[in-house]
Amino acid sequence: MSRRKDFEPSTNRERRAEILKTALKMNEVGLNQGSAGNVSLRIGDFTENNGFMVTPSGIPYDECTVDDMVPMTMEGLWSGKMKPSSEWKFHRDIYKDRPDVNAVIHTHSTFATTIACLGKDIPAFHYMVAVAGGRNIRCAPYHTFGSQELSDATVKALLRRKACLLGNHGMIVTGPNLKKALAMAVEVEELCEMYWRTLQVGGGNMIDDEEMGRVLVKFQTYGQFAPPMENDEDEYRPKLDPRKTHNPKVSLPKMRR
Angle at 37 between CA 105 and CA 40, to 5 degrees: 40
Strands 139-140 and 163-166: parallel
8 is catalytic: no
Contact 85, 55 (CB under 8 A): yes
3-state helix, strand, coil in the chain (%, to 5): 40, 15, 45
Q: Active-site residue among 18, 87, 187, 189?
A: 87
Instruction: Tell me the C-alpha distance between 109 and 133, whole Å.
Output: 20
Instruction: Tell me the C-alpha distance between 181 and 174, whole Å.
Output: 5
Active-site residue set: 87
